[in-house]
Structures are given as C-alpha cells and as structure tokens.
C-alpha cells in the first residue's frame, strides 16, 4: 500500500470516529439547522473535495 | 389520481428508455464480457449515473423520507455516513477491482474471491449468499412500486399490477442488451430522479414555506433537528452501510466495467455529487413533510401524503422518478445475479461449458429471477422486510474475506469458508429471533465473528500461491495500469 493510500485509510478512520462521536457529544444538544444538518452537509462536501484532490494528485500520470 | 395518467406517463417513460436500450442493442457484440460488462468500455459519466441510480433505490424517496419524518436529522446523518465512507472506500478499492478484472478476466465479484483464494467452493458460497440476500431486497422494491401505484390511484391500479409493471420494464432493459443497456438507461433514470426531486422541492418551498423553509422548520419542529438515535442503533444501522458498496454484487460488478483510470475518477466524483444532492433533497422532503402533514400513522406514507397535495403533473413526474429509482436498482440486481448464477454456480456444476452456453443460461435466468422476486412481493410478508434488512447485514459475513483478498497475503480459503458460513447463520438467526446480545445489532456480531475466525484460521493454514501474486499485482495497480495503457 502506498503512502497516499495510507493517508486515505487514516482519513477513513478519522471520518468514522468523527461521525460516531459528534452526534452523541454535540448534535444531541443542537436543535437548529446550524447543528446536525450543517455538520452532515459539510462532511460530504469536505470529503468530495479531498477525494478529488487525492485522485488528481495520486493518479496524475494515469490521467494524462 | 386517474390511473390513465399513470399509464400514459409510464408508456412515455418506457418508450424513451426503450429507444436508449435499442441504441445499446445495436452496439452489442458477442460473449459474456460484452453482455454482462459492456466489454469493460463504460466511461466516467455513464459510470457515475449507473452507480448512483443502482445504489439509490425507491428506499430514498419512500423509506428515507419516512425515517427523516419520524427520526429527524439522525436519518440524514446515517445516509451521509454511508456516502462519505463509500467515497473513500471507492477510491481505495475500485482501482484494485478494475485492474484485477482486466488482468484475470473476472466477470463477477464472487469469481474474484474464488480465484484469489483458489477455491471454487468460495465462489459458489458467495454466489448463494448474494442470491439469498438480494432476491428479497428486489421484492421490496416491487412491493414499494405496487403500494405507491395502488395508493395514488385509490386502488385503480391494483397492487399486483403495480408491482408487475416495473419488473417487465426492467426485464426489457436488462435482457435486450445487458450491461450497456442497463448502464445507459440508468443514466436516464438518474436524470429523471433528480428532475422529479428538484421539481418537488420547488413546489414545496413556494407553496408551504413562503417565509423561508429552514426558519419555519426550526420554529415548528426543532426536535427533528436534534440527533435522537441511541448509539447501538446508530452503530447497528451504519456499520453494514459503511461497507455496502463493497459487498453488494450489483455495485462491485460495476467496478469491472470501466474503460480506464479517468473513468474511475469520473465515476467516483459523479457518484459523490449525485449522492449528496439526492440525499439532501430527500432529507428536506422528510423535514418538510413533518411540518406540512404532521401526525401520520405510518412514517413511510409521508411522501404519498406530500404527493397528494401536489398538482397531477408534478405528482406524475415524482412518481415516475420513484419508479425510475426502482427500475435502475432492480435491473442491475437481476443482471448481476444472473451473471453470478451462470458463471459461479452453473460453471461449477459444468466446468467445461462454452461461453455461449454460459451466456444462454445467464440470460435465461433473468426472467426467472424477476418472476421469483415478483412472486415474493405478492406474499406481502413481514418476513420479506426482515430478509431485506438482513441483506446488507448478512453480507457482512464476507467482509473480512473481501478486504483480506486485496490486502492480506496470509488470508486462506479455509478461513473464508469457516468464517463466512457461521457468521451469516448467526446474523440471520439474531435477526429472525430479534436477538441483540449486549445491545449490539446482528451485523456487529456477524462482523466480530467472521473477523476473528478469518484471522485465526488464516494464521493456522497455508495460503494459496496465488495470494501473494494477487495482492502484489493489485497493490501496484498504478504501475500495472501503465502497462495496460501501453
């Protein structure tokens, strides 16, 4: 497994921890759109941007 | 609603889809790879649409709207966890599946497992697990269509007919020209799903939230914006969905169909964008329904209640978009299961059959699978619901074997067989008996059992020679892809 892929695995682990901690630590107490709704909206936006950057950089030679 | 309107809309929708399918038919070549994998020549855009339309079924517009209606944003979070986990796993696994398919000529994911572990029984076991778990899942799609058609027309379209129309349409698309037809028509279904949802959003927003949707909901239903699920429920529901994309054959088979690395990137990005838009829209419908039609006895009827307030034209477009979501899922499942039954089960019984013969049996199984699924749907059993929930949970039994296939050279065939069978039995037993020891849901127990057995037995047995070669080849997929391109 390459280093960039290890970063991907690490990102996966962080993401899972985040989505399993935040709901019970914070989102239980935020009955507003700026709470859970915004959190669950921003997470995929961030992941999509991260994945685009990852694939473009790591697979550069194969995308020419 | 007058049933004639629905019949007319279905005829127009089917005619457009058939035209696309006919174009695909004109390009159909010979052989199993051509029929079931479109000769591995699908590009990024079509790849993204067929993956999205296959993954997002009628569950979204009926089931998830109901879940949000009843449980608020926790249901939204559950679907988002699935989306983001899938995106990362896709970036990690799709290139490996793809290069392995190119190198070894795999047509089905179960064939990949059988060959990697050098044991044909593994392909057969995986194939049987896929068929047992996915036929009830297909039936639920048909049940949803039957209930929706019956409900919207006040019984004008009876349940049996409503649940029969979709498999007929899906059969035509799948049988006529295989994967290319399914992928192309999935693109049409994906566009219809987005158009229907956006049109409904505009209607709901303009007519029911003139002072702003978010501020109105935050005032009228603040409890829907709070995370209310317990940890064990969250874990039990999320865990199978995190790995759903790897485990469901109609999805992982799509990793074989892509033309090149550029197509892989296009498919993953497109799926992410489609998934995010569609999930947000569906969540908004659930929250809006909680404000517009509160107090429904059955949360699953929230979408039908919203549609009953919409003008006929809009209700038709949304209904067709829900049918489109169903068709694009069931034709992919049945095509995939047919290829699995032909390649991994029939070929195991008759190893020397020709490719033409395998294709003949694979195609023959398409209408048979649809008939079985439709027959299940007619029973309207609560058991089907349980089996459907079990489908994603039950597949957790082969997760360690799948991850080990690509990343652990020590993984052995004995370990796969001895871990997957007891695990799937335990998951099924816990679901049927309603058991949740220590509060943990069946898939969690299934994953623990299969992982422990897989690791321990692998360490005690000798891996096949193919294991090291397979893991090295797929791990170095970038270098190997260059030689493929050259």
Q: What is the pLDDT of residues B195-217, one digit of tens each?
A: 999 999 999 999 999 988 989 99
pLDDT in the model for residue B132? 82
What mean pLDDT comes out for the span B77-88? 96
Asked if the C-beta of B385 comes within 8 angstroms of chain A's C-beta atoms, the answer is no
Q: How many Å apart are CA B444 and CA B396, to the nearest integer?
A: 8
Which one is predicted more confidently, B240 or B189?
B189
- Count of CB pairs separated by less than 8 Å, A with B: 127
Question: Which residues of chain B neighbour A25 with C-beta distances below 8 Å?
Answer: none
Query: A3 CA to chain B: closest CA distance, Å?
Result: 12
Q: How far apart are CA B294 and CA B465, in angstroms?
A: 62
Low-confidence winner among B31-40, B48-57, B366-375 (lowest mean pLDDT) = B366-375
Query: Measured between beta carbons, which residues in chain A are less than 8 angstroms from residue B238?
Result: 19-20
Residues above pLDDT 70, as percent of chain B:
98
User: Looking at residue B389, what is its pLDDT?
Assistant: 65
User: What contacts B173, CB < 8 A, 6 or more positions away?
Assistant: B17, B18, B21, B181, B182, B185, B327, B331
> Is the CB of A17 inside 8 Å of chain B's CB atoms?
no
Find residue B42's DSSP bridge partners: B258
Residue B276 to residue A29, Cβ atoms within 8 A: no
B-chain residues within 8 Å CB-CB of A9?
A: 92
Higher pLDDT, B167 or B96: B96
Q: Which chain B positions have a beta carbon within 8 Å of A17's beta carbon?
A: none
Which pLDDT score is estimated for B22?
94
Give the tens place of pLDDT for each residue, A20-55: 999 898 888 888 888 899 999 999 999 999 999 999
Is B218 within 8 Å of A9 when comparing Cβ atoms? no
Chain position carrying tokens 């299934």:
B446
Is the predicted pLDDT of residue B396 greater than 80, yes or no?
yes
pLDDT at B386 over 70: no
B384 has pLDDT over 70: no
Is B455 at the interface with chain A, CB within 8 A?
A: no
**Cβ of residue A23 closer than 8 Å to a chain B Cβ:** yes
Average pLDDT of the segment spanning B365-381: 85
Is A52 within 8 Å of chain B by CB? yes
The whole-number pLDDT of residue A33 equals 85
A34 near B CB under 8 A: no
* Minimum distance, in Å, between the CA of residue A20 and any CA atom of chain B: 8
Which pLDDT does position B137 carry in this prediction?
A: 81
What DSSP line would sit under B245-289, residue for residue? HHH-HHHHGGGGSB-SHHHHHHHHHHHHHHHHHHHHHHHHHHHHH
Q: Within an 8 Å CB–CB cutoff, is residue A57 touching chain B?
A: no
Q: Percentage of chain B with pLDDT > 90?
A: 68
What's the gap in Å between the CA of B223 and the closest CA on chain A? 6
What ipTM was predicted for this assembly? 0.96
Q: Chain A contacts of B235, Cβ < 8 Å?
A: 20
Mean pLDDT value across residues B305-321? 93
The predicted structure's pLDDT at residue B388: 62
Q: How far apart are CA B45 and CA B50, in angstroms?
A: 9
How far apart are alpha carbons B329 and B370 in whole angstroms? Answer: 12
CA–CA distance, B106 with B112 (Å, rounded to integer): 6
Instruction: Give the B window 3-22 contacts with A, CB below 8 Å.
Output: none
User: Which residue out of A1, A34, A50, A55 would a mutagenesis test of the B interface target, given it has the greatest number of B Cβ atoms within 10 Å?
Assistant: A55
Residue in B214, B235, B478 closest to A33 by CB: B214
Determine the residue of chain A that is closest to B486 in CA distance.
Answer: A62
For B3-382, which CATH superfamily applies? Sodium/glucose cotransporter (1.20.1730.10)
Residues of chain B in contact with residue A2, where contact means CB-CB under 8 angstroms, are 478
Mutation target to probe the A interface, by most A beta carbons within 10 A, among B80, B262, B264 is B80
Tell me the pLDDT band of B391, cut-offs 50, 70 and 90. confident
**Closest CA in chain A for residue B271:** A48
- Separation between Cα atoms, residue B310 and residue B342, nearest integer Å: 45
Residue B485 has pLDDT above 70, yes or no: no
Q: What is the pLDDT of residues B131-146, one digit of tens each?
A: 888 887 888 888 888 8
- Tell me what the pLDDT averaged over chain B comes to: 91
Q: Is the pLDDT of residue B15 over 90?
A: yes
CA A5 to chain centre: 15
- Measured between alpha carbons, how far is A49 from A45 in angstroms, rounded to an integer? 6
Mutation pick from A20, A27, A62, A63 vs chain B, by most beta carbons of B within 10 Å, is A62
| Res. B424: pLDDT tops 60 | yes
B102 has a chain A CB within 8 A of its CB: no
- A53 three-class SS: helix
* pTM (2 d.p.): 0.94
pLDDT(B236) > 90: no
Of A44-58, B263-277, B345-359, the least confident = B345-359
| Chain A contact for B484 (CB, 8 A cutoff) | no
Q: Which of B306, B268, B311, B270 is nearest to B288 (CA)?
A: B306
Q: For B393, what's the count of Cα atoms within 13 Å in the CB-facing half-sphere?
A: 24
- Tell me the mean pLDDT in the region B294-321: 91
3-class DSSP assignment, residue B352: coil
What is the arithmetic mean of pLDDT over B170-187?
Answer: 93
For position B178, what pLDDT does the model report?
94
Q: Which residue of A has its CA nearest to B227?
A: A28
Residue of B nearest to A63 (CA): B262
Q: Note the pLDDT tens digit of each residue in B438-468.
A: 999 899 999 999 999 999 999 999 999 999 9
Neighbours of B424 (CB within 10 A): 25
User: Mapping DSSP to helix (H, G, I), strand (E, B) and coil, where does residue B361 land?
Assistant: helix
């Amino acid at each position: 497994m390459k280093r960039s892929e290890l970063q991907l695995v690490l990102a996966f682990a962080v993401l899972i921890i985040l989505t399993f901690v935040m709901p019970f630590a914070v989102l239980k107490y935020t009955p507003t759109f700026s709470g859970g709704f915004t959190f669950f909206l921003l997470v995929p936006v961030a992941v999509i941007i991260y994945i685009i950057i990852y694939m473009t950089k790591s697979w550069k030679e194969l995308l020419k | 609603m007058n049933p004639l309107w629905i019949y007319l809309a279905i005829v127009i929708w089917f005619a457009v889809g058939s035209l696309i399918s006919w174009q695909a038919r004109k390009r159909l070549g010979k052989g199993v790879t051509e029929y079931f994998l479109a000769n591995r020549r699908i590009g990024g855009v079509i790849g993204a649409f067929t993956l999205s339309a296959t993954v997002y079924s009628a569950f979204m517009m009926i089931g998830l709207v109901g879940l949000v209606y009843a449980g608020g944003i926790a249901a939204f979070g559950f679907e988002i966890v699935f989306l983001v986990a899938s995106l990362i796993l896709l970036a990690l696994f799709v290139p490996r599946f793809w290069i392995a398919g190119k190198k070894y000529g795999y047509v089905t994911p179960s064939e990949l497992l059988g060959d990697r572990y050098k044991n044909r029984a593994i392909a057969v076991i995986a194939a049987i697990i896929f068929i047992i778990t996915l036929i009830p899942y297909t039936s639920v799609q048909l049940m949803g269509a039957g209930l929706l058609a019956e409900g919207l027309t006040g019984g004008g379209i009876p349940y049996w007919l409503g649940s029969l129309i979709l498999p007929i349409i899906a059969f035509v698309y799948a049988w006529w020209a295989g994967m290319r037809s399914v992928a192309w028509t999935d693109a049409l279904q994906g566009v219809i799903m987005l158009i229907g949802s956006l049109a409904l959003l505009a209607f709901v927003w303009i007519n029911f939230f003139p002072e702003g949707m978010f501020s109105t909901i935050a005032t009228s239903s603040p409890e829907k914006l709070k995370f209310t699920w317990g940890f064990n429920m969250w874990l039990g529901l999320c865990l199978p969905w995190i790995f759903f994309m790897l485990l469901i054959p109609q999805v992982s088979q799509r990793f074989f169909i892509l033309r090149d690395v550029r197509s892989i990137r296009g498919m993953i990005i497109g799926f992410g964008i489609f998934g995010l838009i569609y999930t947000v829209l569906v969540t908004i419908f659930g929250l809006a329904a909680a404000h517009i039609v509160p107090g429904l006895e059955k949360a699953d009827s929230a979408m039908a209640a919203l549609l009953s307030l919409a003008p006929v034209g809009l209700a038709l477009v949304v209904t067709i978009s829900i049918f489109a979501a169903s068709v694009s899922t069931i034709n992919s499942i049945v095509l995939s299961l047919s290829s699995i039954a032909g390649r991994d089960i029939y070929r195991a019984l008759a190893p020397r059959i020709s490719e033409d013969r395998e294709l003949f049996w694979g195609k023959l199984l398409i209408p048979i699978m649809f008939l079985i699924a439709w027959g299940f749907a007619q029973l309207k059993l609560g058991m089907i619901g349980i089996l459907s929930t079990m489908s994603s949970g039950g597949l957790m039994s082969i997760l360690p074997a799948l991850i080990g296939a690509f990343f652990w050279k020590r993984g052995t065939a004995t370990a796969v067989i001895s871990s997957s069978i007891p695990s799937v039995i335990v998951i099924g037993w816990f679901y049927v008996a309603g058991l949740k020891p220590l509060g943990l849901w069946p898939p969690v127990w299934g994953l623990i059992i299969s992982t422990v057995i897989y690791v321990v037995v692998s360490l005690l047995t000798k891996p096949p020679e193919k294991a090291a070669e397979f893991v090295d080849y797929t791990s170095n997929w970038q270098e190997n892809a260059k030689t493929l391109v050259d």
